[in-house]
Amino acid sequence: MKITLPLPRTLTSRFVVAMERTRFDVDAFLPWRVAGPHRKAVISAMRSRALTATYHPTPWKPTGANLGDEERRRLRRAKHHVVVSATAPPHLLPASAQAARAAARALARECDGPLIDPLTGAAILTCGQCAGEPAAFHLNDDWLAWDVRTHEVAACAPWDPGDTSCLRVTSRGLRRFALPEITLDGAACAHNLCATNLLRTVASRLVADHLAHLTAHPEATERRIDDFLQIQPGDQPDGGCPFGVLLTPYEADAVGPAGVRRLKVGPAPGTGQITCLKVGPPLGFTGSTNDWLCATQSTAHASLTSMHPPSSTLAA
């Protein structure tokens, strides 16, 4: 089956820089003080008004943001904010979004204020010793975040998966690339990490294929994709066994914010199992599956990944 994805004429990517006080002229600062590989792109985009920086003499109120205590403290102290926006046709992605974030990074460093991505609801590091906007685009460079929830009516023991299915993990950020968000609904709470890693792998593959299609078809108004996605070892950060994923559009009552449709990630046809639950310890590991899931987050991760997993294993 094919899934039709409408492609908008333009997309807007926004970033917010909060500041306690304005110690400089934003219009004079941008674009000339932006350094690094995106400087020319920022200058060109601001000249054409495709990229703008709008000053607001009011605090910024986060909605749905997943911020730490320090970021929230800094936001409470901030009395002003600047919204950096880049609007461009989809085939100019990801360069247009990178230019906007490069400009926002420069502003945040100059005024020592927090930089927030409203779409992901997360803060982006901008300290003096942090690297600027990378030249190459990688989806894992804070372009995605994850909304992790459990069904209120479900009772799920944290470390006893059993037959429970109370976990729902949804991406935040794919809309930036003219893609629906993706959701995995029905895993056990104990497989939170596994579910998130699987969705991250699926998202990376979807974005890579989508950006290639947009570049090859800049005038397209829609794109049709297969509902079956075959994930290869090369699609996974540490390699692994191939596995299949079924993409199923949500029903109308599951449409996300602002009418954005989500795609539900399901099992590959014929497997009879939810893909993210296909986890297990590699050969040679002594202990339970949950011991292994915990160990993959510790310093033992390197030794675990050097072992050969069984054919049904998807490394968390």
Give the Cβ contact number of residue 191 at 10 Å.
24
Residue 251 binned pLDDT confidence (cut-offs 50, 70, 90):
low
pLDDT score recorded for residue 302: 37
Q: Are 172 and 145 in contact (CB under 8 A)?
A: yes
> Which stretches does DSSP call E strand in the chain?
2-6, 11-19, 51-56, 80-88, 115-117, 122-124, 145-150, 167-172, 181-187, 222-226, 228-231, 243-249, 262-267
pLDDT tens digits, one per residue of 53-73: 999 999 998 877 788 888 888
Range scoring the smallest mean pLDDT among 49-53, 70-74, 162-166: 162-166
Residue found by looking up tokens 């292994």 in the block: 292
pLDDT score recorded for residue 160: 53
pLDDT score recorded for residue 127: 66
Residue 113 or residue 190, greater confidence: 113
pTM of the entire predicted model: 0.80
Mean pLDDT rounded to a whole number for the chain = 79
pLDDT tens digits, one per residue of 97-137: 999 999 999 999 888 889 999 999 999 987 656 668 999 99
Residue 257 has pLDDT above 50, yes or no: yes
Residue 204 has pLDDT above 90, yes or no: yes
pLDDT score recorded for residue 259: 55
pLDDT score recorded for residue 285: 57
Q: What is the mean pLDDT of residues 20-30?
A: 80
Residue 163 has pLDDT above 60, yes or no: no
pLDDT score recorded for residue 171: 92
